[in-house]
Structure 1
Amino acid sequence: MAGTFLSDAPKLQMPVECTLGQDCYIQNYVDRDPGSGVRDAGCGGLTYDGHKGTDFALLTEAQMQAGVQVIAAAPGRVVATRDEERDGAYASGKKVAGKECGNGIIIDLGNGWQSQYCHLREGSISVNRGDRVKAGEPLGLVGQSGQAEFPHLHLSLRHDDTVVDPFDPEMQDACASDATQTLWTDPVKYSSSGWLDAGLTATVPRFETVLAGAPLPPPRETGPALVLWGYGFGLRAGDTIGFAITGPDGISIRTTSEVDASKARFFRYVGKKTPPSGWPKGTYAGQITLSRDGAVIARRPASVRID
């Protein structure tokens, strides 16, 4: 299969103008399980049954509103577009049957290859049917149209109408998290889990507020509490989450807990009510960790100063 199949395969660059692990991340990979189960390229579960692409997700809705550019991963000719679907319709309970891709673009890459871009922001698509595009050329903005629960770009690659996983185009049975034979030219690496953001606040924020990217109240000397929160992806049952807060005058708050259920996206926090004398002035440092099979696989710091 590798000969002709890979000899004319397109090379793909990062399709979103963002930095993985900083202001975007991969939420879902191609589902490689032929049955009713799920399995991603790294033999993990960061996908769902029948998922046919790679989902490049933004951290917050505020990023989507500010505008994050979608660019052509490979050169080709535009063969179809749609640009009139409302963002957030599916998340608000609207039916999107037949238009699950939302606002999208299909590009013919030649030699039986096609790329498809889905869930772009309404009214943002900047190319038309028949246009020829170069790799890196702007196509539109990341959105939440179609069957999208959060702002992201779904990129699907097909060869002769068969889905191809760019992380391991030969779709081998072995885990491909460290595969060298990928179709990416940019350093797009497989990541099974991670922290996306963390902070120290005066109250427990709602997860919806964090996802919106709205401002959160900082801790104060006489505020209601001191809270360390974290937001991440790819949580697995059996993982361990650790929280640590240190501050002036020997203040130390530490907790660990084992996870009982897997979550595609998750939010956790720990905190303590403000003592009657208030919080001592100075710098407070927080750190959250995610451990799997006894080893820390992700950590995220946070700090704040109380004056």
Structure 2
Amino acid sequence: MTETAKYDCPMRSKLSVRCAAAAIIVVLASISLLASAAKADHSLSKLALPVDCNLGKDCFVQQMPDVGPGPLANDPLCGDATYDGHDGWDFRVRSVVDVARGVPVVSAADGRVLRVRDGVPDRIMVDGDDTAQLEGIECGNGVVVEHGSGLTSQYCHLRMGSIVVRPGMPVTQSTQLGLIGSSGQAQFPHVHFAMQRDGAAIDPLTGRFLREEHGCGPTLSGLFAEPVRRMMERPALAILATGLSSMPPTLPSLVAGEVPVAKNGGEATLAWVWAINMRQGDQFRIQIVQPDGTTMLDQSTEPLPRRMANYLAYSGRRRTIVPGTYRIVIDLLRDGVSDVTTQMAVHVKK
């Protein structure tokens, strides 16, 4: 049995000595101004990650900005980990358990707090929820920081009551602003990180304005510090969790932190995997090795017919779970080749 679920870019001229001296002064002044501007821009090209977590292990990029000019969504890496009109980077955690634990949101650069909003309750929105009650506060609890040179950064969906800064307060790079939450229009726990220059949205990874004709591609002119840029260039594909159980989980239950546990005597034995940012054609090969070392299951899911932002798959046998240590092996197959492999041991008590 295999199941999937959706969860739901100048002129030379002869000058008198006096004119020449004046020209030199003007040139030197211009050079000085340009140097100051270059220094300011240089200081804004070393942004830090806006979350204090281990990217790819305990926090993940769920969505990127839509950088394309048309209705077809295009992320900064020329992929499709975005949707039409999305204007920021969504750094997520797995579940509300992580929210309760507390994952710091930090300022990406030195600056001064411009605006703050708190008091919006945390909740996970599901399809069909009435969004009218959140009109005007879609960002939920948030902070806006101004950095000079017309640059501002915005941090949305913070946990209610976690914001520790106030308007007018100076902040340095990596100063904690609050914690990741799910306030406002949030379908999963995350912080939405967006930037503007002179009021127009930009992508900090490429350094370009959103919706430009050639918005995706090279990132060398971006605003992130080199180590961060390299992290951000990694594919957004990630396996968030795997497990063994008798009943399959659901995506809402996993986001709520309700992970099923394999128990002795369960009437079925199945392995499940939860991943994000799957491409059309991707598959999972799922293997279950029993406590006696024999392989109970070795099965591949059907190729995905389209991209899935969230994907839950499971496969198993109607066989009673017995005490001992099971081994689960999950291979993500991209173009028929294993792209990501994860293994876990599950011990079932008597």
Task: Identify whether the pair has TM-score above 0.5, normalized to the shorter chain.
Answer: yes
Residues 28 and 55, structure 1, Cα contact 8 Å, conserved in 2: yes
Aligned length: 300
- Give the Å deviation of 1:200: 1.5
- Give the Å deviation of 1:23: 1.1
Q: Which residue of 2 aligns with 1:298?
A: 340
Q: Which residue of 2 aligns with 1:237?
A: 280
Corresponding residue to 2:79 among 44, 51, 65 = 44
Q: Which amino acid aligns with 1:78?
A: V
Q: Which residue of 1 aligns with 2:260?
A: 216
Matches within 5 A, 1:130-141: 130-141=168-179
Q: Which residue of 2 aligns with 1:263?
A: 308
Deviates more, 1:30-39 or 1:290-299: 290-299
- Give the Å deviation of 1:297: 2.3
**Structure ID, larger Rg:** 2
Matches within 5 A, 1:1-307: 7=42, 9-88=44-123, 90-91=125-126, 92-95=129-132, 96-170=134-208, 173=214, 175-176=216-217, 179-185=219-225, 186-187=227-228, 188-190=231-233, 191-220=235-264, 222-247=265-290, 248-256=292-300, 257-275=302-320, 279=322, 281-307=323-349
Deviates more, 1:242-251 or 1:111-120: 242-251
Residues 249 and 259, structure 2, Cα contact 8 Å, conserved in 1: no
Residues 21 and 196, structure 1, Cα contact 8 Å, conserved in 2: no
Distance across 1 between alignment mates of 2:221 and 2:324: 50
SS in 2 for 1:65: helix
Cα-to-partner distance string for 1:110-145 (whole Å, 9 max, x where unaligned)? 011100111111121111010000111111111111
Deviates more, 1:100-109 or 1:184-193: 184-193
Deviates more, 1:91-100 or 1:57-66: 91-100
Distance across 1 between alignment mates of 2:193 and 2:55: 15
Residues 291/89 of structure 1: CA separation in 2 closer, same or farther (3 Å cut): closer
Give me the CA root mean square deviation.
2.2
- Give the Å deviation of 1:101: 1.1
* RCO higher in structure (CA 8 A, sep ≥6): 2
Q: Which amino acid aligns with 2:338?
A: V
SS in 2 for 1:13: coil
Q: Which amino acid aligns with 1:300?
A: T
Q: Which amino acid aligns with 1:98?
A: G
Distance across 2 between alignment mates of 1:284 and 1:193: 26
Distance across 1 between alignment mates of 2:304 and 2:53: 30
- Give the Å deviation of 1:7: 4.1
- Give the Å deviation of 1:94: 4.1
- Give the Å deviation of 1:197: 1.0
- Give the Å deviation of 1:36: 1.0
- Give the Å deviation of 1:294: 2.9
More helix by share: 2
Cα-to-partner distance string for 1:234-278 (whole Å, 9 max, x where unaligned)? 112211221111222523311112112321111111111225xx6
Q: Which amino acid aligns with 2:83?
A: Y
SS in 1 for 2:232: coil
Residues 110/93 of structure 1: CA separation in 2 closer, same or farther (3 Å cut): same
Q: Which amino acid aligns with 1:189?
A: M
Residues 21/122 of structure 1: CA separation in 2 closer, same or farther (3 Å cut): same
Q: Which amino acid aligns with 2:239?
A: W
Distance across 1 between alignment mates of 2:199 and 2:123: 29
Residues 89/162 of structure 1: CA separation in 2 closer, same or farther (3 Å cut): same
Identity of aligned residues (%): 33
Residues 90 and 145, structure 1, Cα contact 8 Å, conserved in 2: no
